Structure 1
Amino acid sequence: MISYLSAGLLALIGLVRLVAVRAGPKHLVVFFLSMAAGLAVSADATVRLAGDELLPRLVTNALQLLAMRALVQLVRGARSPEKPTAFWPIVLCWALMVLCYLDFAPHRFEVGTPGFQWRWSVVVYQVSLTAYGVACLVTFTRTVARSAAGRPRGAFRTGLRILVCAAVTTIAWVVFSGLPSLWLEITDLADLDFLPRARLVGLCAMVLWVLGGLFTTWDGALRLVRAWQGIRAVTPLWKELVAAQPQIALPVRHDIEFTLYRRVIEIRDGLLALRAHVPPHLGDWLRTPVDEPTHAAAELAAALVMREAGRSWPRHPAGPDDVHPSMREESAWLSAVSSAFTHSRVVQEVRERAMADVRP
C-alpha cells in the first residue's frame, strides 16, 4: 500500500508539471512518472499478480534508468548553451540488461542460491544498472547543489536542497539494491530479508523526492492561484472598459500570469482615457465620504455615462494616487475597484445621477 501511495503522489506531481509546462522540455514530468510507474510495478501486490519476481524487477529497473536520464537532461538543459544528452548509453544499458535477463530468467528457481547470485549475467546486470544510475545521480546532485547555493532564501531553495538529499539517498539506494550479490556475500542478510530493506531505503528516497518536488513547485502553484483569483476579481471592470474602448485590448496569450498582467495594463489604459470625462462636480453626488476604491469606481461609472453623452472636461480633477509599485498591490487595488463598481450602492447612485444629468 505504501508503494502505491508513493507512486500516486509522484504521478500527481508529474501530471501537475505536465499541465503547468505545456510547451518546452518535460524532463521532470518524465522523471516523476517513470519513478511512479517503477514503484507501482515493483509493489508486492503487482509482483504477486504477475506470478514472477524477475520480470517486474527488469521493468522497474528500466523505468528507473529512464528517470535517471531525465534528471541528467534536466540539469544539462539548464546550462547555457544547452548540452544535449546522448540516448545511446541508456539504450545500450537496456539491451545489456535484457540479454542478461534472457540468460538468468530460465534459472529463476535458483534465486537466492550462491550459484545464481554470482552467475555472470546476474553480475553484469547489477553492475550496468548501478553504474548508469550512479553516474546520472552524481551529475544531477553536483549541478543542483551549486544552483541551490546561489538561490535566495525561500521555498524554491529549500526544495532544491531537499532534492539534493533525495539524490544522495537514491545513490545509496542504487548502490545497495543494485548490487545484491555483493551485499548478500559480505553481510549476514538472507535473500528474503534483503529486498524489504532495499525497498525501505527506496521509499525514503521517494518521500524526499516528493517533498522536494512539492517545495520547488509551491511558489509557482501559488502564483498561478493568485493570478487566477486576480483575473476573476478584475474581469467585471475589464469587460466594462474593453466594451467601451475596444482599442485598449492587447493581443491574447494563453498564459495565466501574463493574462492578469495584460488585463491590469488594459484597465489602466482605459481609466486614463476616461479621466477627461469625469465630471468636476462628482463630489456633489457623493452624499457620504467613501474609500478610495469606491471613489475611483464612482468616477469610472460617471465617466462612462459622460463619454457616451459626448461630454468632457479638459481640466478635470486629478484622481487619487492609486498607482502601486508591485503587480500584486496593483491587482488588489483594481480588484477592490472592480468590486465596488459592480456591487456598491454608492456607485449605482452616482451612475443614476450622471444619467439624469445628461438627459435633455
Structure 2
Amino acid sequence: MISYLSAALLASIGITRLLTVRAGPRHLVTFFLSMAAGLAVSADATVRLLGDDLLPRLVTNALQLLAMRALVQVVRSTRSPEKPTPFWPILLCWALMALCYVDIVPHRLEVGTPAFQWRPSVVAYQVVLTTYGVTCLVMFTRTLARSAAARPRGTFRTGLRILVCAAVVTIAWVLFSGLPSLWLEITDLADLDFMPRARLVGLGAMVLWVLGGLFTTWDGALRLTRAWRGIRAVTPLWKELVAAHPQIALPARHDLEFTLYRRVIEIRDGLLALRAHVPPQLGDWLRAPVDEPTRAAAELAAALVMREAGRSWPRPPNGPEVAHPGVREEGAWLSAVSSAFTHSLVVREVRERALAEAGRPA
C-alpha cells in the first residue's frame, strides 16, 4: 500500500508539472512518472499478481535508469547553450541488463545461494545498474545544490534543498540495493532480509522526492493562483480600456503569468492614451481627499466620458506617477484601481459630474 501511495503521489506531481509547464523541457515530468511506474511495478501486490520476482525487478530497474537519465537532462538543460544528452548510454545499459537477465532466468531457483550471487551475469547486472544510477545522481546533486544555494528564501528553495537530500539518500539506496552480492557477503544479512531493508531505504528516498516535488510544485501553484486572482481583479478595468482603445490589446497567450503581465501593460497604455481627456476641474469634483487608486479610477471614469463627448485638453494635468518595483506590486495597485472604478461611490459621482459637464444624460 505504501508503494502504491508513493507511486500515486509521484505520478500526481509529474502530471501537475506536465499541465503547468506548457512549453520547454519536461525532464522532471519523465523522472516523476518513471519513478512512479517503477514503484508500482515493484510493489509486493504487483509481484504476486505476476507470479515472478525477476521480471518486475528488470522492468523497475529499467524505469529507474530512465528516471536517472531525466535528472542528467535537467542538469544539462541549465547550461547555455543546452548540451544534449545522448541516448546510447542508457540503451547500452538496458541491453547489457537484458543479456544478463537472459542468463539469470534459467538459474532463478538458485536465488539466495552464494553460487548465484557471485554468478558473473548477476554481478555484471548489479555493476551496470549501480554505475549508471550513481553517476547520474552525483551530477544532478551537485548542480541542484548550487542552484538551491543561489535561490532566495522561500518555498521553492526549501523544495530544492529537500530534493538534494532526496538525491543523497537515493545514492545511498542505489549503492545498497544495487550491489546485494557485495553487502550480503560483508554483512550477516540473509537474502530474505536484504530486500525489505533495501525497499525501506528506497521508500524513505521516495518520501523525500515527494516532499521536494510538492514544495517546488506548490510554489508554482501559488504563483499561478496569484496570477489568476490578479487577472480577475484587473479585468473590469482592462475591459473598459480595451473597449475605448482596442489597439492596446496584445496577442493572446495561454499563460496565466504572462497574461497578467500583458494586461498590466495594456492597462498602462490605455491610461496614458486617456490622459488628454481628463478634465482639469476634476479636483473640484472630489468632495474630500481620496487615496491614489480612487483618484486614478475617478480620472479614468471622467476621461472615458469626455472621450465619448469628443472633448480633450491640449495640456493634460500631470499628476504624480506612482512607482511600483515589480509586476506583482503594479498588479496589486491596478487591482485597487479596478475595484474603485467598479464599486466606489466617489467614482460614480465623478462620472455623473462628467456626464453633466458633457451635456449627456446620466
Determine the structure 2 residue equivalent to 1:258.
Answer: 258
Cα drift, residue 338 of structure 1: 0.6
- Secondary structure of the 1:274 match is helix
Rounded Cα–Cα distance in structure 1 between residues aligned with 2:191 and 2:49: 21
Shift of 1:191: 1.9
Q: Does 1:279 align with 2:273?
A: no
How far does residue 218 in structure 1 lie from its aligned partner after superposition?
4.2
Partner of 2:304: 304
Q: Distance in 1 between matches of 2:359 and 2:201?
A: 80
Equivalent-residue separation in structure 2 for 1:242 and 1:356 (angstroms): 25
Match of 1:15 in 2: 15
Unpaired runs of 5+ in structure 1? none
Matches within 5 A, 1:21-170: 21-170=21-170
Alpha-carbon distance between aligned partners in 1 of 2:120 and 2:325, rounded to the nearest angstrom:
68
**In structure 2, distance between residues paired with 1:346 and 1:147:** 50
Whole-angstrom distance in 1 between the partners of 2:142 and 2:267: 47
Q: TM-score, normalised by structure 1?
A: 0.93
Structure 2 equivalent of residue 181 of structure 1: 181
Q: Which range moves more in the overlay, 289-298 or 91-100?
A: 289-298
1:154-180 residue CA offsets vs partner (Å, 9 max, x unmatched): 444433332222212111101111111
1: CA distance, partners of 2:171 / 2:324: 49
Question: In the aligned structure 1, how far is the partner of 2:82 from the partner of 2:325?
Answer: 35
Counterpart of 1:163, as a letter, is L
User: Which residue in the other structure is 1:194 paired with?
Assistant: 194
SS in 2 for 1:312: coil
Q: d(CA) in 2 for partners of 1:306 and 1:322?
A: 24
- Between 291-300 and 193-202, report the one with greater CA deviation: 291-300
Partner of 2:212: 212
Give the 3-state SS of the residue equivalent to 1:348 in structure 2. helix
**1:200 CA displacement:** 0.8
Query: AA paired with 2:40?
Result: A
- Per mean C-alpha deviation after superposition, the further-off stretch among 302-311 and 114-123 is 114-123
User: Which AA in structure 1 matches 2:23?
Assistant: A
In the alignment, the residues of structure 1 paired with residue 296 and residue 142 of structure 2 have an alpha-carbon distance, to the nearest angstrom, of 54
**What letter corresponds to residue 170 of structure 1 in structure 2?**
T
Deviation of residue 21 (structure 1)? 1.9
Conservation of the 8 A alpha-carbon contact between 1:296 and 1:319: no
The CA deviation at 1:230 is 1.0
Partners in 1 of 2:326 and 2:151 — Cα distance?
22
CA offset at residue 60 of structure 1? 0.5
* Residue in 2 that maps onto 1:3: 3
Compute the displacement of 1:239 (Å): 0.8
CA distance in 2: counterparts of 1:119 and 1:20, whole angstroms: 47
Quote the offset at 1:320 in angstroms: 4.7
CA-based RMSD of the aligned residues comes to 2.0
Partner residue in 2 for 1:318: 318
1:124 maps to amino acid: A
Amino acid at match of 2:6: S
Change in Cα spacing, 1:290 to 1:149, as seen in structure 2 (3 Å) is closer
Task: Return 148-157 or 199-208, whichever deviates more.
Answer: 148-157
Post-superposition shift, 1:272?
Answer: 1.5
Worse-matched range after superposition: 345-354 or 258-267 = 345-354
- Summarize deviations over 1:274-305 as a string: whole Å, max 9, x none: 11212222334334443322222122111101
Cα distance between partner residues in 1 of 2:249 and 2:93: 55
Change (3 A) 1:317 1:80: closer
Counterpart residue identity of residue 258, structure 2? F
Scaled by the length of structure 2, the TM-score of the pair is 0.93
Change (3 A) 1:271 1:203: same
Q: Which range moves more in the overlay, 31-40 or 152-161?
A: 152-161
Unaligned runs of 5+ in 2: none
Amino acid at match of 1:248: I
Q: Secondary structure, in 3 states, of the residue corresponding to 1:22? A: coil
Aligned sequence identity (%):
84
Tell me the CA shift for residue 345 of structure 1.
Answer: 2.8
Task: Decide whether the 8 Å contact of 1:104 with 1:121 is kept in 2.
Answer: yes
Query: Which one-letter code corresponds to 1:41 in the other structure?
Result: V
Q: How far is 1:129 from its partner?
A: 0.9
Q: Deviations over 1:115-173 (max 9, x none)?
A: 33223322221121111111111222222233334444444443333222221211110
Cα distance in 1 for partners of 2:160, 2:287 equals 57
C-alpha displacement at 1:336, in angstroms?
0.7
Q: Is the 8 A contact 1:227 1:260 kept in 2?
A: yes
CA distance in 1, matches of 2:270, 2:156: 37
Instruction: Report the AA paired with residue 77 of structure 1.
Output: S
TM-fit CA distance, 1:256? 2.0
Within 1, Cα distance between the matches of 2:151 and 2:59?
37
